[in-house]
Every structure is written in structure tokens, then in C-alpha cells.
């Protein structure tokens, strides 16, 4: 049996569950993932073969213009990619390194200490955690415990302060609540000495904009959703998320509750190192072993004991593939219903159309029609999200396709590159394999 893992208190608790869903036997392959050739589902295999060399090339130092901040840098040290079409994994590969650098300026580790990326590499998903929080929220909406258009204050009365009495669950899920991007002051700054004070700070934050007046991406929206979910269910967020990831057989997906550091974390060596955070940003950063590895990179999530609605989940592309297929299956996977058809439809509904700005297009929890995440497959039927560490998820309902790219582009420093060029290139090659007339703007 494989293991689903989630962190509880200050130790890692392993909960047995089903085998890897991609290898399940005797199941209906119309509802779960299987491995197959591109030709078996009508795709052209050549672009997928060319894609491997192309994406690997971005690990080579060069001037990639704005993507390498007009300096000679690699875009990322390496990563993993998985492409699914019509319930079939048609491409899954790793490239480059997961551990490459000895310091923030890019000094290479000796070759014998460098570690290659592989398909079992666990990546810090950063803001892809918001997708998991979204699914947990939608499950409570499906159950009738939570109402999408109800005010947050109905569930957390103390939230109503500072002009927030009319903020709804919908506004949180679509980043239209009016919150600033991050808590001010930051939760890790030392202003709040206890966990309870940090939660109070989240609940009592003020606003930058009137509720519903504009789109502004904010971690506070999903910190607030965590507070709501834990209040109405009387269960911690990591347990709520474990309830559906275990149903999906996601055995390498977890929070590191308690920020277990170093080899005491059983997933430490499997995890990709992230940033030399203190060297890059100074002594105000969390004081922990460097580079950050196996504990959440996001400082506010770290200060919340590693579990938050906006960041904290770790996973692999093979695990996350099951989640993507569940959404393409309209909420079911392996005969189990995770979400209602209505909730999945709402993922692909643009609730921000009134702003008349493509950059604001948003379904519940997901961005819609965004070239920078999807490349040329962007449309209102393509839901996507990115994570600051270098991760991305794309679910293209119109083409019954999904593609994932996980990387640790902040290794060794966030100041060296943006890996949007890799995300866009991935979408281009997938589009070519689908025999679509697509163009890559960077060519």
C-alpha cells in the first residue's frame, strides 16, 4: 500500500489509503487516469518529444530578456512536467536538477552533491494551495453548510469590523473582497507572538478597496477561507484537504504542520530545495536552515505552523494529476464524487466579467484565460493557477486536457528569473500536439 501523508501537530502522521490511482487495477478507465501513447488519444507525438529538449534548454544560463531580468541566468534549475488528455497521461518527465546551488548568488554545488529532479520530487506548491482550499470550500458549499453568496460575517461574526460586513464567500474566491495582497504587518514579523493573535490579525484586517469594486489578488482571501472552514467544521484545514486527497489516492501530498525541519521530516530528501531566503532578504526572514527545504517557503504560512489556506501544500505532478482529472470528470474520480457538477461549472465561470479586463478573469479559485500561465491555449474554458516557487496547473476543459509544471525556480533566489516563459512554452507544445494552430509569442 502507498501512503497519503499529512502533517499533524509537530510530527508527520501517515494515513494509509489506496494505491496510486494511475496504477489502479480493475477500475473504469473512463474515470481514472491511465498511461498511454499520444497516438492512442489522437495527439501528435512529435511536439511532445520536442518539448522535452526545449524545456530542458531553459536550465542553461542565457539572457532570456525580461524572464531572466535581462541578465545571464537559467530560468530554473529543473522541474517536472505531466500532460493528460482524454483520461490518459501522454507525457510525464523530469529534467535538470532539484538541488544545484550552494548559495544565493548561484555558486554551484560540487557535482556529487547535486541532485537530479525526478517524477517523485516533491515541490512546495506555494499558491497552488489555493486550489486545494477552493476544493475544500466547494465541498462545504455542496454539503449546504456554506453558501457562496452569504457574508463571511455570518460564519465568523468578528470578521465584520473595518468595513467588511458585506464581503461574501464569492468575493474571497474571486479576489474581489478589497483586501491588500498580504497582511500588514506580516504575520512573521514578530508583532503577533501567538498563533491566536495571528488568526485575530487575519480576521480584523482592514481593506484597500471597497468590497466588490475591483480585482486584487490577495493571500488574505484564502487565509480568511481557512478561518471560515475551520470554524464551521471544527476541523483543521489540513484534515479537510486530506479528506479529498485521500479519496484521490494522492499519497505524496501534504502540509508540513509544525514546520518539521531537516532529516526529521521523512520527505526532506524527496523535496526540492527552495531559496536561500535569509541571504536574499535579510535577517528579518524566519530563522531556519538554509536553503529552505521541506518546510513551506512562504513566510506567512510558515508563521501559521505551516498550514494556511494560501500556501503550505507539497505535492508531486503525478499526485496532482488525479486532482486535475477529477475536475475534467466534472467532479468525480474512480467512482467517487469529490465535487458537484455545479461547483465544477463555477470553476469555469468568469465571475469578474464586469471589470472588462482579461487580467481579472476568474472562476471560483482559478484564473481564466491567462496567457502567462497557459500559453496559447488560454480561453475562458482554461482554468489555471501558479505558485510563486515555480509551480503551475492548467486544466483545459474545452480540449479535455491538463498540464502541470512543477519547479523550484526560486532556488537559489527569487531575484534571478520568472519561469513564465516555461509555462507558456509548455502550453505551446501541448497545443501543437493537439494539432491546433498555435503560436509561441517568444519565438
Residues 352 and 326 in one domain: yes
CATH code of 405's domain: 3.40.710
Q: What is the reported pLDDT for 442?
A: 67
In a domain, 129, yes or no: no
Q: Does residue 223 share a domain with residue 241?
A: no
Considering the domain boundaries, does residue 125 fall inside one? no
- Can you give the residue range of the structural domain that contains 211? 135-232
How open is the CA angle 105-300-365, to the nearest 5 degrees? 105
Same domain? 47 vs 105: yes
How far apart are the C-alpha atoms of 139 and 243, rounded to whole Å?
Answer: 10
Q: Which of 180, 209, 232 delimits the end of a domain?
A: 232
Q: Is residue 271 part of a domain?
A: yes
Between the two ends of the chain, the Cα-to-Cα distance in Å is: 46
Whether residues 312 and 413 share a domain: the answer is: yes
Q: Give the pLDDT of residue 441.
A: 77
Strands (E), 41-184: 62-63, 72-73, 78-85, 88-99, 115-116, 123-124
**Total domain count for the chain?**
2
Ranges assigned E (strand) in 378-431:
382-387, 391-396, 401-407
Same domain, 281 and 409: yes
| Shared-domain flag, residues 180 and 85 | no
Q: What CATH code is carried by the domain that includes residue 180?
A: 1.20.58.710
Same-domain check for residues 48 and 20: yes
For residue 324, the model assigns a pLDDT of 99
Q: What span, in angstroms and rounded, lies between the C-alpha atoms of 195 and 201?
A: 10
Q: Is 46 part of any domain?
A: yes
Residue 438 falls inside a structural domain? no
pTM of the shown model: 0.94
In a domain, 330, yes or no: yes
Q: Does residue 314 share a domain with residue 182?
A: no
Instruction: Round to whole Å and give the CA distance between 73 and 419.
Output: 11
Per-residue pLDDT at 13: 31
User: Residue 153 domain-assigned?
Assistant: yes
Together in a domain, 340 and 429: yes
Which residue, of 183, 203, 232, is where some domain finishes? 232
Q: Is residue 442 situated within a structural domain?
A: no
Q: Tell me, yes or no, whether 109 and 198 share the same domain.
A: no
Last residue of a domain, one of 213, 232, 251: 232
Q: Do residues 301 and 349 both lie within one domain?
A: yes
- What is the grid cell recorded at 13? 502522521
Instruction: From first to last of the 443 residues of the chain, give the pLDDT tens digit.
Output: 222 233 333 333 332 233 343 333 333 434 899 999 999 999 999 999 999 999 999 999 999 999 999 999 999 999 999 999 999 999 999 999 999 999 999 999 999 999 999 999 999 999 999 999 999 999 999 999 999 999 999 999 999 999 999 999 999 999 999 999 999 999 999 899 999 999 999 999 999 999 999 999 999 999 999 999 999 999 999 999 999 999 999 999 999 999 999 999 999 999 999 999 999 999 999 999 999 999 999 999 999 999 999 999 999 999 999 999 999 999 999 999 999 999 999 999 999 999 999 999 999 999 999 999 999 999 999 999 999 999 999 999 999 999 999 999 999 999 999 999 999 999 999 999 999 999 997 64
User: Nearest 5 degrees, angle CA 68-CA 72-CA 75?
Assistant: 40
Same domain, 242 and 213: no
Phi-psi region of 52 (alpha: psi -120 to 50; beta: other; left: phi over 0): alpha
Distance, in Å, from the CA atom of 167 to the CA atom of 170, rounded to the nearest integer, reads 8
Place of cell 523530469: 94
Amino acid at each position: 500500500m502507498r501512503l497519503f501523508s499529512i502533517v499533524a501537530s509537530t510530527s508527520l502522521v501517515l494515513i494509509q489509503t489506496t494505491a496510486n490511482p494511475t496504477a489502479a487495477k480493475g477500475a473504469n478507465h473512463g474515470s481514472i487516469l491511465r498511461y498511454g501513447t499520444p497516438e492512442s488519444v489522437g495527439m501528435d507525438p512529435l511536439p511532445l518529444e520536442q518539448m522535452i529538449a526545449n524545456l530542458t534548454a531553459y536550465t542553461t544560463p542565457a539572457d532570456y530578456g525580461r524572464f531572466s531580468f535581462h541578465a545571464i541566468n537559467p530560468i530554473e534549475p529543473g522541474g517536472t512536467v505531466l500532460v493528460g488528455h482524454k483520461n490518459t497521461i501522454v507525457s510525464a518527465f523530469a529534467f535538470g536538477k532539484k538541488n544545484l546551488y550552494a548559495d544565493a548568488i548561484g555558486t554551484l554545488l560540487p557535482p556529487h552533491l547535486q541532485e537530479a529532479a525526478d517524477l517523485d520530487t516533491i515541490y512546495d506548491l506555494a499558491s497552488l494551495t489555493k486550489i486545494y482550499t477552493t476544493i475544500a470550500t466547494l465541498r462545504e458549499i455542496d454539503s449546504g453548510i456554506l453558501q457562496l453568496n452569504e457574508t463571511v460575517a455570518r460564519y465568523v461574526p468578528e470578521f465584520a469590523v473595518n468595513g467588511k460586513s458585506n464581503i461574501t464567500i464569492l468575493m474571497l474566491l474571486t479576489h474581489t473582497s478589497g483586501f491588500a495582497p498580504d497582511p500588514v504587518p506580516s504575520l512573521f514579523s514578530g508583532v503577533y507572538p501567538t498563533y491566536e493573535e495571528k488568526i485575530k490579525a487575519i480576521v480584523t484586517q482592514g481593506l484597500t478597496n471597497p468590497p466588490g469594486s475591483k480585482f486584487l489578488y490577495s493571500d488574505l482571501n484564502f487565509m480568511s477561507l481557512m478561518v471560515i472552514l475551520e470554524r464551521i467544521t471544527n476541523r483543521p484545514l489540513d484534515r479537510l484537504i486530506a479528506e479529498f486527497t485521500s479519496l484521490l489516492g494522492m499519497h505524496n501530498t501534504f502540509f508540513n504542520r509544525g514546520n518539521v525541519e531537516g532529516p526529521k521530516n521523512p520527505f526532506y530528501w524527496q523535496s526540492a530545495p527552495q531559496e536561500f531566503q535569509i541571504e536574499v532578504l535579510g535577517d528579518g526572514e524566519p530563522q531556519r536552515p538554509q536553503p529552505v527545504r521541506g518546510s513551506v517557503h512562504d513566510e506567512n504560512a510558515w508563521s501559521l505552523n505551516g498550514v494556511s489556506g494560501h500556501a503550505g501544500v507539497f505535492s508531486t505532478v503525478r499526485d496532482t494529476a488525479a486532482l486535475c482529472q477529477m475536475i475534467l470528470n466534472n467532479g468525480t474520480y474512480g467512482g467517487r464524487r469529490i465535487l458537484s457538477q455545479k461547483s465544477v461549472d463555477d470553476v469555469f465561470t468568469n465571475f469578474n466579467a464586469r471589470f472588462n479586463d482579461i487580467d481579472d478573469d476568474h472562476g471560483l479559485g482559478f484564473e481564466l484565460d491567462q496567457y502567462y500561465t497557459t500559453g496559447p491555449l488560454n480561453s475562458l474554458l482554461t482554468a489555471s493557477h501558479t505558485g510563486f516557487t515555480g509551480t503551475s496547473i492548467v486544466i483545459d476543459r474545452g480540449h479535455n486536457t491538463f498540464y502541470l509544471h512543477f519547479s523550484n525556480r526560486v532556488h537559489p533566489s527569487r531575484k534571478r528569473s520568472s519561469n513564465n516563459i516555461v509555462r507558456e512554452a509548455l502550453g505551446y507544445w501541448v497545443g501543437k500536439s493537439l494539432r491546433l494552430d498555435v503560436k509561441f509569442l517568444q519565438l
